[in-house]
């Protein structure tokens, strides 16, 4: 389901239920509008062997926390050559012990598939179930040992009208989203004929959008808690902050790895029973400011431990942002992208923000369990700014 916030940002909301996980493993899906069929599967290896002194790529402790997680991306372009799919170091290797990557040049998975519909049918309105079919099966869901799983999988999908969708799935243990979108591997729709979505907000659009989503998630969690036993007394929003431009001196934007830290904003029933958005904005801004303070490893370990020890009367929500990243600067010769989005991620209570193509709006992908998403869609605090499931129109 997709909605567009009239004054803030578009939301692509993925309804996640246990059975939906199986959709990532199907290779041929037939529906009223689409038919995605696998044509071929092979392994693409680096054009040159990895040098001996680079054979072992060590992971930081933050990387090690994410080795079981894979991030899905998809982009739409007019043409692509297999010669362009050259696995980046260290994605052609394999995890060997949970602490490092053996850069053995075993390669990445490369899949070709046909999509039995035109791109216009997919975009009017966007078909989120089809989007999942354009992404290669996540190695995270396979029965293979971690040491046997590819760190990168690519799927090339051909539409009836000639456009191509490139789905990518990569290990979060090796890289984060800023790493991916700094190179030509974001979820990108690069059709020049796709009409732009223009949305604007005159205030701090980032914090405002984050607070609106957080407020709606609080309302959903509170209703769920009341239906079970009692009141929801507190709710935390964990924000994944990119540290590359906050270091002194700033780090190179394309530095590999998970160069992020989590910060926390908190809502309390005693302080804000009405869930005032202005109060939530203040908490979000305060959390970001605190995130700039240096935290040593022992302090951060304790912070992460507390994150996993949520009380019975508390709930949490994870939010991360790609706003300001160069997602719209990738140009394969057909012009810069006009729209991009991450693929559905198997993690409920999650929102991912990104800049709109013209830089004047924000898009967000929201993932919740089905019953929570139904309540989220009815939450007036956010739907006052939204219209349901907008289409992306293609001009002939």
Q: What are the pLDDT digits (tens) for 97-140?
A: 878 999 999 988 889 999 888 777 776 776 667 777 888 888 77
**CA–CA gap between residue 164 and residue 324 (Å, rounded):** 26
Element holding 120 (H helix, E strand): helix 119-123
Task: Report the CATH number of the 205-387 domain.
Answer: 3.30.559.10
Closest CA to 281 of 213, 219, 348, 361: 213
Element holding 284 (H helix, E strand): helix 277-291
Q: 255-265: per-residue pLDDT in tens?
A: 777 777 788 88
Cα–Cα distances (Å) from 282 to 9, 91, 221, 292, in that order, read: 20, 40, 21, 16
The order of strands in the sheet holding 56-58 is 56-58, 100-102, 94-95
**CA–CA gap between residue 318 and residue 108 (Å, rounded):** 30
Neighbours of 23 (CB within 10 A): 14
Is beta strand 314-321 parallel, antiparallel or unpaired with respect to 350-355?
Answer: parallel
Chosen CATH of 17-189 out of 3.30.450.20, 3.40.50.300, 3.30.559.10, 3.90.180.10? 3.30.559.10
Answer yes or no: same fold for 17-189 and 205-387. yes
**CA–CA gap between residue 325 and residue 145 (Å, rounded):** 34
Domain boundaries, the chain: 17-189, 205-387
- Residue 221's contacts (CB-CB under 8 Å, 6 or more residues apart) are 232, 235, 315, 317, 372
pLDDT at 33: 44
pLDDT at 36: 82
Q: What is the DSSP letter of 124?
A: T
The order of strands in the sheet holding 10-16 is 260-268, 234-242, 314-321, 350-355, 362-369, 10-16, 2-5, 386-388
Cα–Cα distances (Å) from 290 to 21, 287, 304, in that order, read: 36, 5, 16
Rounded to the nearest 10 degrees, what angle do helices 205-228 and 277-291 cross at? 110
pLDDT at 1: 39
* Average pLDDT across the chain, whole number: 69
Closest CA to 282 of 360, 221, 204: 204
Closest CA to 244 of 181, 338, 173, 171: 181
pLDDT at 277: 79
Q: Look at the alpha carbons of 181, 186, 192, 197 in this order and tell me if their dihedral is positive or negative.
A: negative
Flag residues of the chain having pLDDT under 50.
1-33, 78-84, 183-204, 395-396
**CA–CA gap between residue 390 and residue 124 (Å, rounded):** 8
pLDDT at 143: 81
pTM of the model: 0.70
pLDDT at 319: 86
Q: What is the DSSP letter of 104?
A: -
Query: Judging by beta carbons within 10 Å of its beta carbon (0-12, 13-18, 19+), is residue 267 exposed, middle or buried?
Result: buried
């Amino acid at each position: 389901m997709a909605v567009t916030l009239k004054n803030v940002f578009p939301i692509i909301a993925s309804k996640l239920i246990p059975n939906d996980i199986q959709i990532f493993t199907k290779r041929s899906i037939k529906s009223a509008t689409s038919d995605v069929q696998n044509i071929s599967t092979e392994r693409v290896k680096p054009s040159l062997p990895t040098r001996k002194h680079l054979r072992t790529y060590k992971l930081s402790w933050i990387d090690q926390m994410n080795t079981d997680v894979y991030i899905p991306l998809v982009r739409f372009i007019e043409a692509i050559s297999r010669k362009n799919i050259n696995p980046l170091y260290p994605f052609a290797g394999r995890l060997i012990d949970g602490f490092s990557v053996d850069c053995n040049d075993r390669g990445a998975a490369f899949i070709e598939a046909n999509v039995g519909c035109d791109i216009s049918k997919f975009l009017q309105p966007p078909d989120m179930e089809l989007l999942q079919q354009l992404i290669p099966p996540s190695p995270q869901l396979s029965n293979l040992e971690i040491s046997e799983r590819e760190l990168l999988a690519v799927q090339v999908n051909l539409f009836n009208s000639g456009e191509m969708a490139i789905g990518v799935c990569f290990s979060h243990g090796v890289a984060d989203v800023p790493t991916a979108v700094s190179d030509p591997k974001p979820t990108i729709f690069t059709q020049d004929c796709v009409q732009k979505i223009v949305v604007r907000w005159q205030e701090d659009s980032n914090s405002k959008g984050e607070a609106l989503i957080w407020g709606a998630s609080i309302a959903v969690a509170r209703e769920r808690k009341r239906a079970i036993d009692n009141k929801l007394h507190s709710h935390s929003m964990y924000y994944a902050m990119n540290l590359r431009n906050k270091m002194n001196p700033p780090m190179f934007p394309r530095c590999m790895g998970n160069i992020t830290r989590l910060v926390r904003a908190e809502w309390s029933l005693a302080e804000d029973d009405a869930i005032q958005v202005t109060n939530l904005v203040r908490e979000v801004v305060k959390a970001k400011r605190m995130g700039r303070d240096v935290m040593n490893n022992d302090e951060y370990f304790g912070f992460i431990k507390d994150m996993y020890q949520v009380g019975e009367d508390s709930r949490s929500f994870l939010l991360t942002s790609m706003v300001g990243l160069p997602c719209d600067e990738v140009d394969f010769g057909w012009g810069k992208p006009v729209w991009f989005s991450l693929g559905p991620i198997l993690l409920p209570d999650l929102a991912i923000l990104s800049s709109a193509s013209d830089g004047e709006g924000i898009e967000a992908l929201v993932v919740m369990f089905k019953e929570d998403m139904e309540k989220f869609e009815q939450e007036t605090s956010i739907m006052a700014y939204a219209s349901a499931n907008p289409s992306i129109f293609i001009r002939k």
